[in-house]
Structure 1
Amino acid sequence: MKIQTVIHPSSVIEAGAQIGEGARIGPFCYVGPDAVIGDRVELVSHVSVMGATTIGASTKVYPMAILGGPPQNTKHKGGRTTLVIGENCAIREGVTMHLGTDSSRGETTIGDNGNFLAYAHIAHDCVVGRNATFANQATLGGHCEVGDNVYIGGLTAVHQFVRIGDNAFLGGCSAIVGDVIPYAIAVGNRASLRGLNIIGLKRAGLPRSEIHLLRKAYNTIFDRSRTVGENIEFAKAEFASSPTAMKIVDFIAGRGKRHYAVPSLKGGDGDDTDDD
């Protein structure tokens, strides 16, 4: 049996917009002509869906969110670009997500099962993985890449072009100006690493033996008695049998000349077993 699609009479749905089965569009929403609203999507009220924006099935969008606004990038010349939002996301009050830039990748992409709390912002040309959590006012600059299962704390800003690895945890009120390796905790203004996201790894079901191996790899990679290049070569040889450890090695080795966050001189030795 088909689920009824409900559109409040006060909302504006432009000709050309595609509205999925069972979608619910509440009062005072705007849906532009190039928008695609998936099955069972709910726009609670006062939501604007602009540009070539696709919203995946069963996503719920709360009042005052603006999705698909033009990129805040002076290099954009007005060409057609896109925003693609995955399925089963929660997009809370005042969230903004922008289209890609026609001089760059041209698309902003959000994975499934994301939870974006009030006033979070995702800029142009970003890629956000699955199961992301952005706390209130977490912000991405343009061209960022965020892996799966990443948590970004409230009022934390991520600089443009930064990469955040899978299962990383970014503490609240932080300024993230360099890449953050997978599984790490990063905290602070010009954030440094504070060890591994052990609680997140346990929640993800990683075995204790693998966590111990990952901690050993972390300490090897950031051993200050050798250069980073030497450490990476040591880690490649010692941890080749661990896909989890090698994800960190490959992340760093693939960075080119980019800056990345490192442990603080005051700590960050990988023993932060209780940090969340």
Structure 2
Amino acid sequence: MPDVHSSAIVHSDAQLAAGVSVGPYSIIDANVVIGADTKVGPHVVIRPYTTIGERCNIFQFAVIGEIPQDLKFQGEETRLVIGNDNTIREFATLHRGTAGGGGLTQVGDGNLLMAYTHVAHDCSVGNHVIMSNAATLAGHISVDDHAIIGGLSAIHQFCQIGAYAFVGGCSAVARDIPPFCMAIGNRAKIVGLNLVGLKRHGFTSATLEALKSAYEILFASGLTLKEGIVQVRQRFPAEPAIHKMLQFLESSERGLAPIDVRENRSHRGKE
């Protein structure tokens, strides 16, 4: 049975699985589903049409599933879906989708959303993503698995952040950041590969060398991006990480963040 504090307000239509705990003064609205063993701290607000998975830990004063901050929103039945094993810290805000953006904001599994983070309408956050304190996603953003977004950073709407990318603190990201890359600044520029992060995640030396070579060809050879993609694909036809990188580059609609050539020269191949 759920463990609900006597001061909490839980709508009779909310569905709380076994092992769910709800702290003092929290409010859980109708059409909310919360999976087994999830902990909802004190003073948390969970709004309608929100689904939360199992074993999540939601800290005090978080607001989950509020309506989007979009003037076109007219009260449509849109949703927020959160997966399993997520940690959502103090004052974080996650909003429902909009009809014009597909109607769904989605957060995967195993993510850490630190204090004051914001996930706006129609965003898609993958698995094992870390958003540091006050990192902010505008609407319609995609963040792929294992990306890290530094504190006080803001991502422009419709941007994509690739898998294993690292966005430094206090950055303003206006264009896409490819997988495996680091970016920093206002406006953010790509400054090299996230080599330390990739090693920590167990990428082999062979894969790291392939990524280094591909990065040089794509961003530091003087070739156009289209020419670089052709050359990299021919050179590394069977490397999954390279395939992921090229797939991202070819699907980018907003365009890539600029390359900081000076930074790349000073950090090329270093960790």
Same fold per TM (> 0.5)? yes
Whether 1:101 aligns to 2:98 is yes
- Report the Cα offset of residue 263 of structure 1: 1.9
Whether 1:261 aligns to 2:260 is no
- Residues paired across the two proteins, number: 270
Match of residue 180 from structure 1: 177
Q: What is the distance in 2 between the residues matched to 1:226 and 1:112?
A: 38
Q: What is the distance in 2 between the residues matched to 1:38 and 1:248?
A: 35
- Report the Cα offset of residue 44 of structure 1: 1.2
Task: Provide TM-score, normalisation by structure 1.
Answer: 0.95
- Report the Cα offset of residue 100 of structure 1: 0.2
Instruction: Map 1:28-43 to 2 at 5 A.
Output: 28-43=25-40
Q: Identify which of 183, 206, 220 aligns with 1:223.
A: 220
Q: What is the distance in 2 between the residues matched to 1:156 and 1:177?
A: 11
Whether 1:91 aligns to 2:91 is no
Q: What is the distance in 2 between the residues matched to 1:191 and 1:178?
A: 8
- Report the Cα offset of residue 272 of structure 1: 5.4
1:20-75 residue CA offsets vs partner (Å, 9 max, x unmatched): 10110010000000111111111110000002001110101011000000011122
Q: What is the distance in 1 between the residues matched to 2:239 and 2:105?
A: 32
Instruction: Map 1:3-152 to 2 at 5 A.
Output: 4-152=1-149
Would the aligned equivalents of 1:77 and 1:102 in 2 still touch at CA under 8 Å?
A: no
Q: What is the distance in 1 between the residues matched to 2:87 and 2:223?
A: 45
Would the aligned equivalents of 1:197 and 1:273 in 2 still touch at CA under 8 Å?
A: no
Q: What is the distance in 2 between the residues matched to 1:252 and 1:239?
A: 15
Does the C-alpha gap of structure 1 residues 272 and 185 become closer, same or farther in structure 2, counting only changes over 3 Å? farther
- Report the Cα offset of residue 273 of structure 1: 3.1
Would the aligned equivalents of 1:86 and 1:112 in 2 still touch at CA under 8 Å?
A: yes
Q: What percent of counterpart residues are identical? A: 37
Matched position secondary structure for 1:200: helix
Match of residue 201 from structure 2: 204
Would the aligned equivalents of 2:39 and 2:55 in 1 still touch at CA under 8 Å?
A: yes
Q: Write the letter of the residue equivalent to 2:98.
A: T
How large is the Cα RMSD of the aligned pairs?
Answer: 1.2
Q: Write the letter of the residue equivalent to 1:268.
A: N
Q: What is the distance in 2 between the residues matched to 1:272 and 1:89?
A: 34
Task: Provide TM-score, normalisation by structure 2.
Answer: 0.97
Q: What is the distance in 1 between the residues matched to 2:66 and 2:100?
A: 16
Would the aligned equivalents of 2:191 and 2:261 in 1 still touch at CA under 8 Å?
A: no
- Report the Cα offset of residue 260 of structure 1: 1.0
- Report the Cα offset of residue 223 of structure 1: 3.0
Would the aligned equivalents of 1:137 and 1:154 in 2 still touch at CA under 8 Å?
A: yes
Would the aligned equivalents of 1:78 and 1:102 in 2 still touch at CA under 8 Å?
A: no
- Report the Cα offset of residue 271 of structure 1: 2.1
Matched position secondary structure for 2:101: coil
Q: Which moved more, 1:122-131 or 1:196-205?
A: 196-205
Q: What is the distance in 2 between the residues matched to 1:147 and 1:197?
A: 15
1:111-168 residue CA offsets vs partner (Å, 9 max, x unmatched): 1001011000000000000001010000000000000001110000000000011000
* Structure 1 unaligned regions, length at least 5: none
Matched position secondary structure for 2:192: strand
**When you count helix as a share of all residues, which structure comes out higher?**
2
Q: What is the distance in 1 between the residues matched to 2:180 and 2:79?
A: 30
* Structure 2 unaligned regions, length at least 5: none
Q: What is the distance in 2 between the residues matched to 1:265 and 1:202?
A: 23
Q: Write the letter of the residue equivalent to 2:264.
A: G
Q: Identify which of 163, 167, 171 aligns with 2:164.
A: 167
Q: What is the distance in 2 between the residues matched to 1:144 and 1:272?
A: 30
